[in-house]
Chains A and B, each alone.
Chain A
Amino acid sequence: MSKPKAGTKEGSPLTDIDTLVHEPARLNIMAQLYVLEGADFLFLMRQTGLTFGNLSSHLGKLEYAGYVNVKKEFVGKKPHTMLRLTEKGRTAFRRYMQTMRQVFDELPSN
């Protein structure tokens, strides 16, 4: 059995947090793509406020993990790179939301 992450208790929902989704910029990207059917790179850049290079880097990681599908489409004669969450990505995002709810539900109320 793998060791729990440093600072976390074994069995606690904190150990289940998907760190790929948890990173704020990637969380923002995945939240955008979760509520949309698809968006191109420019739209994501505008909505997330990320720079070109930053967005590209994070999308690369998400695509490598199989969470985002990158597809080149033509709108009229112009090429567009359309981005969509895969089923794996949607499941991962839903699991992340559930985990975070558990984390905060288990916090002691003061």
Chain B
Amino acid sequence: MAGRISLKEVELKAWSSYFEDGLWDIFLGAMLLIGGIRSVTDYVWYTLLILPLILVLPLGKRLITTPRLGHVKFGPSRKARQRKAVVALIISVVAIFALLLLSNSGLALPPRMLISPMMAVWIAVIFGVLAYFLDFKRLYAYGLLYGMSEVIWGQFGKPVGPVAQTIIGIAILAIGLVVFVRFLRRYPLPAKGASDVKA
């Protein structure tokens, strides 16, 4: 028996298994895709598609992931990291909301060409912070991709910006679907009552 047990790796593996379902990737890719299509077409009602999309994560976890992986309660240190991720997300949403309010307030702001790189860096930083606290490495790459779409939009405007956003959204969505299918194959639904067993 090996003398070293890396408990940190054991915990990390348990935590990471919940990201093997690809649902986060599907959600983030679809958000970008819907945003891109809405901007290309100028059909505002496309925004309504975001509403059911928001349900993908909680419903997917409940109906697809948990029945295949089982139930788990993580320890206090993991819960603390989750709380920090939530705080970081709230701060970023508030900041973006504030920027949107400012841009609609009539105040003189720098042109999108200058704001875009700053937004891109901000987006990449937020994704990076979330990736760190959630130990979800793919978020680092998605942050860079999200930021890249923002820079392209700022530099080239319509229609190049929204098209780039759509393509990046499709790429992330495709990764999510591949991960999702792999997850379904790796973790088939167990026999009924597998999580209800008296030892």
Given A37-B73, A46-B69, check contact A97 B5 (CB 8 Å).
Answer: yes
Residues of B within 8 A of A68 (CB): 199
Residues of B within 8 A of A47 (CB): 13-14, 17
Q: Which of A34, A41, A103, A104 contacts B195 (CB 8 A)?
A: A41
Minimum CB–CB distance from A18 to chain B (whole Å) comes to 12
Interface string of A42-58 (1 = CB under 8 A from B): 11111100001000100
Determine whether B75 belongs to the interface, using a CB cutoff of 8 Å to chain A.
yes
The chain B residue with its CB closest to the CB of A17 is B1
- Please report which residues of chain B, range 1-20, place their CB below 8 angstroms from some CB of chain A when the two chains form the complex: 1, 3, 5, 7, 10-11, 13-14, 17
Listed in ascending order, the chain B residues whose CB lies under 8 Å from chain A are: 1, 3, 5, 7, 10-11, 13-14, 17, 69-76, 187, 190, 194-199
Q: Which 9 A-B pairs have the closest CB atoms?
A: A43-B70, A42-B70, A59-B199, A35-B11, A37-B73, A42-B195, A104-B3, A40-B71, A38-B73
Contact A81 B195 (CB under 8 A): yes
- Please report which residues of chain A, range 79-107, place their CB below 8 angstroms from some CB of chain B when the two chains form the complex: 79-83, 97, 100-101, 103-104
Number of A-B residue pairs at CB separation under 8 A: 99
Residues of A within 8 A of B198 (CB): 70, 72, 81
Contact B187 A46 (CB under 8 A): yes
The chain B residue with its CB closest to the CB of A43 is B70
Q: Which of B13, B70, B187, B194 contacts A39 (CB 8 A)?
A: B70
> Given A31-B7, A43-B71, A68-B199, list of 5 further CB < 8 A pairs?
A31-B10, A52-B197, A82-B71, A82-B73, A97-B5
Give Cα distance in the complex from A81 to B12, angstroms. 23
**Interface secondary structure of B, over-half rule:** loop
Minimum CB–CB distance from A78 to chain B (whole Å) comes to 8
Give Cα distance in the complex from A41 to B72, angstroms. 10
Give Cα distance in the complex from A101 to B2, angstroms. 11
Residues of B within 8 A of A97 (CB): 5
Residues of A within 8 A of B73 (CB): 36-39, 82
- Please report which residues of chain A, range 2-54, place their CB below 8 angstroms from some CB of chain B when the two chains form the complex: 22, 24, 27, 31-32, 34-47, 52
Determine whether A75 belongs to the interface, using a CB cutoff of 8 Å to chain B.
yes
